[in-house]
Structure 1
Amino acid sequence: MKSFEPNLIERQQITQNLLRTIRLIGEYKGKQELFKEQSPQVLETLRQAAIIQSTESSNRIEGITAPLERIKELVAEKTTPRDRSEQEIAGYRDVLTTIHTSYAYIPFTPGVVLQLHRDLYQFAVVEGGRWKSVDNEISEIHPDGTKIVRFQPLPAYATPAAMESLHERFNTLWQSEEIEPLLLIPTYVLDFLCIHPFTDGNGRMARLLTLLLLYKAGYEVGRFISLERIVERTKESYYDTLYQSSQNWHLGSHSLLPWWEYFLGVIVLSAYRDFEQRVGLVTKTKGAKTAMVLDAISNMPFDFSIKDLQSQCPTVGIDLIRRILRQERTAGRLECLGRGPDARWQKK
């Protein structure tokens, strides 16, 4: 669409920082198979945790929440959804699973995007799989109740043709191999969000399509580290860089650089660094789950609760988490303030 107008990508500023980021991501891509060969057991633990965290975070960004235990049960398909939030969580779980297992066989067409959106809402009363029928806007509500429109997407009548054009131009460049795929992927995501083709679910679809395209380009980090969790953690930067790069989008005179740097540096590169750290940590500890808890503790703020740790380590049982906390306290690295499940733990 607008970002794929002739020569617009080629005219963008490429900074040394962006070049370095692309180079580092390429180096991490080369280590993927080595990680798999060395630590298959930790990869399985990371894979299970990533599915739960991705499902939880991507929905929570949109205000769709459920207790962690319910999310675990839904992801494991041990229960059925019992309200609208759980219906949408279960739908996200299914689309995520489809992408993880079948990405190589999924053609990247507008029809497939509609099908994935339909599956996202398969358990909900709202019908998915249709382009928006009314105009929408991207806005924010301030605490005093005032609303500010941050971006006006394409009108509903122009959406079907815009999505056809976006996919045609994207696929042409993708197949030509003339432009780095790591630049094409965030550019597609930006245009998708600027078109805002659905009445609801645009953010979740953008994150799912991000995962699909990274898979197709050979970057598998999203299987083991939740990209959605990183977006949730850096939500302000996510929205700020989208806003910066969407300015003058309708005129085709916008800058892709802020979004490129966030997408590649904050999401993809940090996911790979997290991936390497978690896999490497396992070789120094007794097991994958212990490594995950110790890693989560190291990334916690100065004080935290057991619930905070459970959220970061959804595949780890509470008994193991408590045992590790006691060990860390005995070793003098942590201090417990208070008693019971709401007690706070502090680093020393």
Structure 2
Amino acid sequence: MGMIRTQSLRITPAILTAIAEIDEFKGAWRALGSLAPERLSALRRVATIESIGSSTRIEGSKLSDQDVQRLLSNLEIKTFETRDEQEVAGYAQVMDVIFASWREIDVTENHIRQLHRDLLRHSTKDERHRGAWKTSANSIAAFDEAGHQIGIVFETASPFDTPARMAELVDWYNAACADGELHPLLLIGIFVVIFLEIHPFQDGNGRLSRVLTTLLLLRAGYAYVPFSSLESVIEQSKEAYYLALRQTQGTIGSEEPNWGPWLTFFLTALQRQMRRLRAKVEREKLMLGSLPEISARLLDLVRDHGRLTIGDAERLTGENRNTLKQHFRGLVSHGHLVLNGAGRGAWYSLQ
């Protein structure tokens, strides 16, 4: 299988435990996923907004989840003023494509380039190179506060080597899936870390790696993935994410690559994504039938934003202010939410 060496892969107890827990949830999802369709689509909507917000912020965007939500409710606009908005619009559209068509999107070089083109379709500065392998070096550099480069963190593949490295990665992944010796989650983790080490495109590699992770998980049967945001888990542990990447990436070209740091991080992140969803679904089950639809949506929003004002709720749900006040009052009196502050500045949080 070319130069991708997995013989040195050590399966630690932590890795085994994470895989077992994730697979158990994957099996149970059929029963758990039997929530009412509108609840499922509400979960997916919230997760998608979180994913887009987090994934673009990891790369330096300044848009909050509320900004993303506003932008997405207005996607008919075809021109986006800022680079951040262009990136969010592209990310949202690619996620839609993945959710709708993952069965048809095989892991091929063409499909990877096509997803890259779609991801950057609104990005004016990336017009020249979207959908094409890089043509100039893009090693990962460190910068000081003033924006001056202070050193190279690590060298990515050269533009000359990139096409061959990507062909090798895609062939290895498809062959390894077919022979079934390694667990699919390990294969996906290894694919992602090598993709990021190659850094095959001039820009957008980080965002595309997270889109590809979702695609590969769906294709491997992890049907619950659209309902909980892996990107927001990664955003909350950004330092650990970069550290694990560097620790493994520095060894990929060696005789015995050290897959452990990255796979441990990756599987722990998947575990947290799954546990968040499990907790949400369990709460849904407890409340199913006992809460009106608007109250359930408000609870979702508070859970996902941490705090919510009446104004936020009005903007995010489109419901009438008095109706919302009534539902908030009910949620407070039943002990689901707490009212903080008073008057205009009042906000609600979880009990």
Structure 2 residue runs without a partner (length 5+): none
Mapped pair 1:88 → 2:91: no
Amino acid at match of 1:75: L
SS for the counterpart of 2:152 is strand
Q: Which moved more, 1:277-286 or 1:126-135?
A: 277-286
Look up the match of 2:237: 234
- Partners of 1:316 and 1:5 lie apart in 2 by 54
Mapped pair 1:275 → 2:274: no
Amino acid at match of 1:240: L
Kindly report which structure 2 residues correspond to 1:33-112, keeping only aligned pairs within 5 A, or say none.
33-66=30-63, 68=65, 71-76=68-73, 77-83=75-81, 84-112=83-111
- Partners of 1:322 and 1:233 lie apart in 2 by 32
Amino acid at match of 1:166: L
Residues 50 and 224 in structure 1, CA contact (< 8 A), matched pair in contact too = yes
Look up the match of 2:218: 215
- Partners of 1:347 and 1:46 lie apart in 2 by 17
Residues 51 and 230 in structure 2, CA contact (< 8 A), matched pair in contact too = yes
Mapped pair 1:29 → 2:21: no
Look up the match of 2:137: 135
> Could you say if the C-alpha distance between residues 49 and 137 of structure 1 is closer, same or farther in structure 2, counting changes exceeding 3 Å?
same
Residues 341 and 347 in structure 2, CA contact (< 8 A), matched pair in contact too = yes
Residues 310 and 325 in structure 2, CA contact (< 8 A), matched pair in contact too = no
Task: Compute the displacement of 1:279 (Å).
Answer: 1.5
Residues 230 and 271 in structure 1, CA contact (< 8 A), matched pair in contact too = yes
Across the two proteins, how many residue pairs are aligned to each other?
A: 339
- Partners of 1:73 and 1:296 lie apart in 2 by 14
Residues 8 and 257 in structure 2, CA contact (< 8 A), matched pair in contact too = no
- Partners of 2:229 and 2:310 lie apart in 1 by 19
SS for the counterpart of 1:156 is coil
SS for the counterpart of 1:203 is helix
| TM-score between both structures, scaled by the size of structure 1 | 0.85
- Partners of 1:135 and 1:290 lie apart in 2 by 52
> Could you say if the C-alpha distance between residues 14 and 89 of structure 1 is closer, same or farther in structure 2, counting changes exceeding 3 Å?
same
Amino acid at match of 1:261: T
> Could you say if the C-alpha distance between residues 194 and 259 of structure 1 is closer, same or farther in structure 2, counting changes exceeding 3 Å?
same
Amino acid at match of 1:28: F
* Structure 1 outlier segments of 4+, above 6 Å: 298-301, 307-310, 344-348
- Partners of 1:223 and 1:287 lie apart in 2 by 24
Amino acid at match of 2:240: S
Look up the match of 1:153: 156
Amino acid at match of 1:46: L
Amino acid at match of 2:10: Q
**Match of residue 172, structure 1, among 175, 178, 182:** 175
- Partners of 2:244 and 2:159 lie apart in 1 by 25
RMSD after superposition: 3.1
Task: Compute the displacement of 1:249 (Å).
Answer: 2.3
- Partners of 1:122 and 1:41 lie apart in 2 by 30
Look up the match of 2:190: 187
Look up the match of 1:334: 338
| TM-score between both structures, scaled by the size of structure 2 | 0.85
Task: Compute the displacement of 1:293 (Å).
Answer: 4.7
